[in-house]
Structure 1
Amino acid sequence: MIKRTISIVAVAGLGLGLAACGKDSSKSGSGSGSAAAGTVASKLIMGGPAEFQTRADGLPGLKKNYGVAFGKYTVTDTGGPVTIGALKNGQVDAADIFTTDPSIKADNFVVLTDPKHNFAAQNIIPLVSKSKATPGVQAVLNAVSATLSTASLRDLVTQAVTDKKDPDAVAKSFLSAHPVNMSGKASGASLTVGSANFPENVVLAEIYAEALKSAGAKVSTKLNIGSREKYFPALKSGSINVFPEYNGAVLSYLQQGATEASTTAVDTALSKALPSSIVALKPAEAQDSDAIVVTKATADKYKLVSIADLAKKG
């Protein structure tokens, strides 16, 4: 998964946008072998970034794990406005979009389930300096994780990005609606909470910070730091003590070529791969992962619930 800065912009001249982002791949079939004749997927146009055609969990993974091969592939962008506009306007029938994108709710898109874990788990997890991970701090952050679902995370992103609300205000509102009730649990703890430089991660960091404050901890924040290559060394050294992460993405960062996919498998591998100075707490149900997304009309027409349904005769 490529974590990116989320921006919702008007998509004017979508046809030009598609051309600018890359070529139409229809001449090479689906990009993962000839489309299986007569399947639902063989009738559909898939849209996504150029690299989705060759990466292990892209078209090759869909073919290997589900027997899904699309009739045509159109290069758009990385889960951004060109992809969303193309799906909404019918220029593609299915698309690679991140599960927390606000467009899923706004445009009534359908996220197809992935029972075979083609896409690795990307559960939200708090990473914490081992020296700061007191039982109270862990209890607070685990309580926060228990409140986070993919749908609620999508709503948080919508507020921060679409509605342009201040991330701290979004965090406080969320905790008001989902109180963790940990008064005094983190008393005596002094923590620095960090975030990467995209709105979703900033909101999560603010939620962690506000929850820890309400539990009695002394908290400072270092937000919008940048990429994992920049902030992970700070977490490892202890200059940052708490960070919202994505279990599959950080595992891939620490262990190139990792093949674990399910939440349990990813978390087990991650616990072994993390530096000794960092601990990973319980994963939230919430995930921000790649997903195959279709319009409701397409889902209804072909009775699509799972990615596997795309391989059915249609």
Structure 2
Amino acid sequence: MKTTTLIAAAAATVLTLGGVSACGSSSSDSGSGSGGTVASGLIFGGPAEFKTRTDGIPGLQKTYGVKFAKYTVTDTGGPVTVGALKRGQIDAADLFTTDPSIEANDFVVLEDPKSNFKAQNIVPIINKTKATDGTKQVLNAIQAKLTTDGLGALLDKIQNDKEDPDAVAKEWLDDQDLDGAGTLAKGVSLTVGSANFPENVVLADIYADALSNQGATVTKKLNIGSREKYYPALKSGSLDLFPEYTGTILAYLDATSTVSTPDDVYAALAKALPANLVALDKADAEDSDAVVVTKQTAEKYDLKSIADLARTAK
């Protein structure tokens, strides 16, 4: 083979490897050494909805002036996102603050001083026709016992110890003395749904199992997918009950809302919901989206806050 042919082949190989040649660089990179920002040299990973959600990529750009070189669709705060961050396939990610993989991998959660992410308290959204006094009593009792640290412990069992979410849910109900049999929800028939990430699944299991223990006829439809897939079913009535997060569901329903505190977000959500749905008591438990990087990336660029990503790269 001629020398020129070898050179051409080598160049083609480099182009085939394409957009990402190393962590923090891409074919469209305008970062280090070119006057761009820190973020303009980094690849962000997260679920598809985060790319267009008002408090997702558009929110980061509007609130902090942060624009990444590339967005890679991974999963909703799950093993695909964590694995991509660990391997350097992405440089920053959308993860949930209760995710045990953050501590396990020494990831760094960047501070959000301008409250781009609204308060994210756990809240059951239920069809009004299913919200009997007994059903509300069962679910609100659960809400009163949910804590942020407790959510993290549940996720640790599921993600690190590989325990079955429904078994974890039943154990939690037992630990909280909420597993007793009764008739509070007798005569109610409802379908409980969940999104496709472990925390939402175990919350749906907790709601469903507690209601079943109290006489309800319960059908589970778990791991449905993103809000774009499950919310229409909830609104139409083919799903009756769903564990939600006050801030993200509010942003989905009202992109113009600017409230951020737990009480203000909850009040705004009550007004934004369609007439056939109601939000029951919000829990103190909160699980917010967070921009997360590895410790190495944080140290390399001296990152402490999301705002630091908008600094000019050195």
Judge same fold: TM > 0.5, yes or no.
yes
* Aligned partner letter, 1:105: E
Structure-2 change in CA distance of 1:138 and 1:47 (3 Å): same
* 1:27 aligned residue (26, 29, 38): 29
| Contact in 1 for aligned 2:192/2:220 (Cα 8 Å) | yes
Q: 2:19, 2:219 → 1: CA distance? A: 39
Q: 1:311, 1:74 → 2: CA distance? A: 15
Counterparts of 1:66-85 in structure 2, within 5 Å, are 66=64, 69=66, 73=69, 75-78=71-74, 81=79, 83-85=81-83
Q: 1:224, 1:91 → 2: CA distance? A: 29
Structure-2 change in CA distance of 1:116 and 1:146 (3 Å): farther
Structure-2 change in CA distance of 1:175 and 1:82 (3 Å): closer
Look up the SS of the partner of 1:291 in the other structure.
strand
**Deviation digits for residues 243-296 of structure 1 (CA, Å, limit 9, x no counterpart):** 212333333443455554443333222212222222101222444443111335
Mean Cα deviation higher: 257-266 or 47-56:
47-56
| Contact in 1 for aligned 2:197/2:223 (Cα 8 Å) | no
TM-score (norm 2): 0.69
Counterparts of 1:36-185 in structure 2, within 5 Å, are 45=42, 47-48=44-45, 56-58=54-56, 61-62=59-60, 64-66=62-64, 69=66, 73=69, 75-78=71-74, 81=79, 83-89=81-87, 94-180=92-178, 184=182
2:266 counterpart of 1:267 = yes
Mean Cα deviation higher: 104-113 or 78-87:
78-87
* Aligned partner letter, 2:202: V
| Contact in 1 for aligned 2:125/2:280 (Cα 8 Å) | yes
* Aligned partner letter, 2:106: N
Counterparts of 1:183-222 in structure 2, within 5 Å, are 184=182, 186=184, 188-200=186-198, 201-214=200-213, 216-222=214-220
Counterpart of 2:9 in structure 1 is none
1:116 offset after TM fit, Å? Answer: 2.3
Counterpart of 2:275 in structure 1 is 276
**How many residue pairs align between the two structures?**
288
Q: 1:139, 1:307 → 2: CA distance? A: 40
Structure 1 unmatched ranges of 5 or more: 1-15, 36-40
| Contact in 2 for aligned 1:99/1:150 (Cα 8 Å) | no
2:249 counterpart of 1:250 = yes
| Contact in 1 for aligned 2:147/2:284 (Cα 8 Å) | yes
Q: 1:141, 1:217 → 2: CA distance? A: 13
1:169 offset after TM fit, Å? Answer: 0.8
Counterpart of 1:10 in structure 2 is none
Mean Cα deviation higher: 151-160 or 272-281:
151-160
Q: 2:224, 2:39 → 1: CA distance? A: 40
Q: Which one has the largest radius of gyration?
A: 2
Mean Cα deviation higher: 90-99 or 199-208:
90-99
Q: 1:276, 1:92 → 2: CA distance? A: 41
TM-score (norm 1): 0.69
Q: 1:245, 1:17 → 2: CA distance? A: 39
